[in-house]
Structure 1
């Protein structure tokens, strides 16, 4: 199938409907996004999810506007994250689940954040982590995406929304090149970073593209194992969360 076509969303919706384990993981992501927004963003305004896909945050929080690069029945509108049709200083929060690394020109996205965010508002990104297991796995997982922590540029030679992305982009921008980011965008503060803890269930669920490895009946046991493995999350985790806030 064409991973850049609308068929991807239709098939992913069918896959998600069959996977309770994965649905629960996505709902946990929604709650993490909400918790961090309430903690770090101090203003009112629009709440917008970019790249909402088949598990939009509005399923858990109906006030969140669901957008993607294409518009389907599940999404409110199509929106280009690098040239958004939103008013200046109109947005309280942007939520991004595994979509930032698909932006071919991240600097345009940051410029749009500076334009559209209210002071005290911000963006929360859930992205591939850069720990040892994540780096090993992501390099081998998808033919259409890479994971290159040493790539010299923030921009990647994407040929479509899902093709050519560098899954290590959040590491490159917010960890490796953090000083450059802070110098270029002094109005955007990195106020928080944390590591996701539901990586075991995400991996075993197979995500949206692979076969589930264990039955849903084992979900409670997997949650216990995740808690026991918490001290090893920097080694084993698959996602991390970055919170940006507009300061000026």
Structure 2
């Protein structure tokens, strides 16, 4: 029997007993899937408690996580994907990038395993003036906005690194801070940035995430998500808790 990390097992239990959390994450999953090519083979990186298939049960999805669980197809490191070149039409990742030790290594692998025209859709913590207070003082994961998110890749992985180690600032640094956006575009010219948007104003923090408590019912969460769509253009840059990014692998130019 597969030994399950107790933190993932607890996430699974919280998921099953919190309908408001499922409503919020269901919205995330649908957004990511809708951003990918309409049909094809997809890879979910960092499947965690294994919930993407709930959003689209008929999708051809291969799930991976660095920790083994019974509900994940392949146990693998996102920095060294065990798949052939040009395998997938889309890659999704939810709350994964900020856990990856070397983002540069992951995006190189993503480019390799994606087919031309394939996409990466990711949703991560987004650091805004309000969310920074929440993530910095009320969340167990750190936020360090002083690092280089595309720093050099170690020649060998650190075997002592806890897969739950993280820096919640990485996604915002990569895709919102100008100097790092430019560096990403120069490092990965094979990617085109298709979409970049703030998400989640109230519903996500009020669910309590994967904590035991929640201030919302599922129906209230769904209503708040609809309201957030109206308010996002006005207060998203100040208050949003999430950042969604969509990248597309460039197609080869015809000679």
| TM-score, structure 2 normalization | 0.84
Q: What is the match of residue 102 of structure 1?
A: 99
Distance 1:219 1:46 in 2: 31
Q: What is the match of residue 41 of structure 2?
A: 46
SS at match of 1:159: coil
Mapping of 1:147-166 within 5 angstroms?
A: 147-155=143-151, 159-163=161-165, 165-166=166-167
Q: Aligned pair 1:129/2:145, yes or no?
A: no
Q: Give yes or no for contact 1:154–1:172 (8 Å, CA) kept in 2.
A: no
Distance 1:114 1:221 in 2: 37
The runs of 5 or more residues in structure 2 that have no matched partner are 153-157
CA positional deviation for 1:227: 5.0
SS at match of 1:89: coil
Q: What is the match of residue 194 of structure 2?
A: 191
SS at match of 1:211: coil
CA positional deviation for 1:46: 2.4
Q: What is the match of residue 11 of structure 1?
A: 10
Q: Give yes or no for contact 1:30–1:57 (8 Å, CA) kept in 2.
A: yes
Q: Give yes or no for contact 1:67–1:78 (8 Å, CA) kept in 2.
A: yes
Q: What is the match of residue 23 of structure 2?
A: 24
CA positional deviation for 1:45: 4.4
Q: Aligned pair 1:65/2:62, yes or no?
A: yes
SS at match of 1:73: coil
Q: Give yes or no for contact 1:50–1:67 (8 Å, CA) kept in 2.
A: yes
Distance 1:207 1:155 in 2: 30
- Report Cα offsets for 1:28-66 as digits up to 9, x if no partner: 111101211147xxxx64201001112421122232222
Q: Aligned pair 1:81/2:78, yes or no?
A: yes
CA positional deviation for 1:225: 4.8
CA positional deviation for 1:97: 0.3
Distance 1:122 1:224 in 2: 26
SS at match of 2:213: coil
SS at match of 2:13: helix
Q: Give yes or no for contact 1:206–1:213 (8 Å, CA) kept in 2.
A: yes
CA positional deviation for 1:155: 5.0
Compute the RMSD of aligned alpha carbons.
2.3
Distance 1:186 1:160 in 2: 31
2:238 counterpart (235, 240, 244):
235
